[in-house]
Amino acid sequence: MSMKHDNRGVEKTITMVLAAGVIAESIALAGTTINPFLARPDADLFRIAEESIEFTYNASSGFQFAEDVQRQTGELFSINSAEELRLAFAQQGKELNTTFFLNVKSDLEVREILKNIDAGLTRCTWKFQYAIDSKGNKTDATYHLYMFTVSYRDDFKVLQAFRNEALTENLTAGEIALKDEALRIIADIIEPGMSDYEKVLAVHDYIVLNGRYEDSSNDPVIHAALHKTEGILINGVGVCTSYAGSMYLLLNMIGVECAFVTGIARNSSGLTEVHAWNRVLISGDWYNFDATWNDLAPDQPGVVSYTYFGLTDKALAKTHDWDRDVYPQSAESEIYNYYNFNDLKSQDYAQFKAIVMREIMKQKGNPMITVNVFVENYDPGKYSMNFIYGVLPKIKKASCSRINGTSGELILIITQEVLV
């Protein structure tokens, strides 16, 4: 299977500038999803930042206090731990605030915490202000006042606006179009009474069948959207962040909890790259999904792979790595793994033949038939496909592909002449 990759990834650009007593830093983040914000149980964690002190520097006189002390009023978080900082960012993201102030305890490693924060971000920059004496020496202070400036993924913004219509004014024209298209897709593929599994399957298949992996385009408008959710959902092309963002947006809009995950993926040659995928909650259990890797490369219209549909953490960890502290929910259930749920796992040739025959009969009248089956201990010398000609006499072409070593997914694709 060809390796698909996102060149943007989790880029880390850290800059520090000391000027007039103000430290500025920035970090680019591959955005990840948040759980709905829970109200703080302890009102004392809110406090008023009474003053934000600025300084000037003069070559002859050194550091000096500004004549006018800037006062920052309003209710702010008093941040005492990494978890409180994550929770504060969740609250700000719920309102799509792009600039906000937080009082952060001075001994917290803010940069390290934000590198692993799960808040729908694509970029976060900040500066903080602290007290120094007339000689420029930093004084001991319990809290620093931070001003954060953030930007969010388009799927995250659209979801928040979907949940709170008043936030639509925060969306760009492209994001409003994305919201409208997401609603259209949902109306088209989701039917009343569907189970969560059926909803996930419908969304996954729509994305794979209507999307194509591309990491560049000669069209500047399409190229600019390749890393955004609009890439797959509106233009039909994009990279892994676009696939994962599409799953995240559509599933959360229909009430199925879905997380946007970033980490590292390894192909069969051992090459690694920054990658994005999803974790989905079905009937109380978490499962891993990688729609990007389930879209065959090169693209094959009408064909969907399910190798990365509903995997446990143990199964996914063979090819994917992620920060377990950022995504603490464990995925251990195999119930809604595609092959298990649909009885498509075979241990030997007899079972394989029975599965293929069963699936062929379901699609016997179709001009193109596809059968996905997970085969254990596959041996091409023993797995003859000749039996299909006995039930499909008008076959034009038949192919089997995508077996991974001796165990893995096999996709049988048959085109046939159908009598009208």
**The pLDDT value given to residue 416:** 87
pLDDT in tens, 30-59: 433 333 233 333 333 333 333 444 444 555
Average pLDDT over residues 176-195: 97
pLDDT per position as a tens digit, 199-222: 999 999 999 999 999 999 999 999
Q: Comparing 176-180, 251-255, 283-287, 301-305, which segment has the lowest mean pLDDT? A: 301-305
Residue 295 pLDDT grade (very low, low, confident, very high; cuts 50, 70, 90): very high
Contact 37, 90 (CB under 8 A): yes
Q: How many CA atoms lie within 13 A of 270 on its CB side?
A: 0
C-alpha–C-alpha distance, residues 221 and 217, integer Å: 9
Asked which of 44-53, 96-105, 152-161, 175-184 is least confident by mean pLDDT, the reply is 44-53
Spell out the domains of the chain, with CATH numbers in brackets.
17-152 (no CATH), 156-341 (3.10.620), 343-420 (3.30.1370)
Q: Which of 51-60, 182-191, 377-386 has the highest mean pLDDT?
A: 182-191
Q: Contacts by 115-118 with C-beta closer than 8 Å and gap 24+?
A: 115/12, 115/27, 115/29, 116/323, 116/325, 116/326, 117/29, 117/32, 117/85, 117/86, 117/89, 117/326, 118/32, 118/33, 118/34, 118/86, 118/259, 118/326, 118/327
Pick from 58-72, 175-189, 317-331, 372-386 the range whose average pLDDT is largest: 175-189
